[in-house]
Amino acid sequence: MSAETQQPKAQSSGTGQAAAAQKCREWEARNRIIEELERLGIPRQDWPAYVQRPAKPEFSESHQFECFQPPDIDMLRESMRDWVKKANAAWDRYRDRQVRLFEFLVEKGVDEPIPHKRSRGPGTKGRNVEIDARYEWAARRLTGDAWKVIAIDAGVSEARVRIAAHNVLRTAGWPA
């Protein structure tokens, strides 16, 4: 790849929007684990020393959009159905223009892509672990419960508990 075709980096690693998004995910995971510790009634003195309620991240990235103005309606010449079609088309154009602007900023290196992770729910066949259970298992692991004990209590395999809780703890930045 030649130097002319390479995309510039928007920020150095550890800064910028992607790093801010990661910090927000870490903050959310830590808070949810602490909520589970409290819900389980585990005394604070039994928590690891590094488990402290984190301060909410002080950064955000908001964007002020120009106002969307739906088209006027001529009540004497068009039906409500016609106006709804016209308004929906106008909204689609407006929304797509805003999306293209953000994509352009990333493409030109002014901004960086932000990875958005979604927690999986139980799925249609119920094979995935419930989100609340993942945080409970992570909290129990932090206080010294063995993977096997947590798995027996939950009625699922040890591997299932270990993988789900480990992912939560990794997101929180805490050891498993």
pLDDT, position 1:
45
pLDDT, position 62:
66
CB 126 within 8 A of CB 157: no
Sign of the Cα torsion 133, 161, 28, 46 reads positive
Give which of 136, 135, 129, 131 is closest to 159, Cα–Cα. 129
CB 161 within 8 A of CB 137: yes
pLDDT, position 2:
46
pLDDT, position 134:
92
pLDDT, position 7:
46
Q: Which residues contact 95 (CB under 8 A, 6 or more apart)?
A: none
Residue 15, token pair as written in the block: 């800064």
pLDDT, position 93:
95
The low-confidence residues of the chain, meaning pLDDT below 50, are: 1-12
pLDDT in tens, 9-35: 444 455 566 777 788 888 889 999 999
pLDDT, position 76:
92
What's phi and psi for 3, nearest 5 deg? -65, -30
N residues, the chain: 176
Q: Which residues contact 136 (CB under 8 A, 6 or more apart)?
A: 36, 39, 40
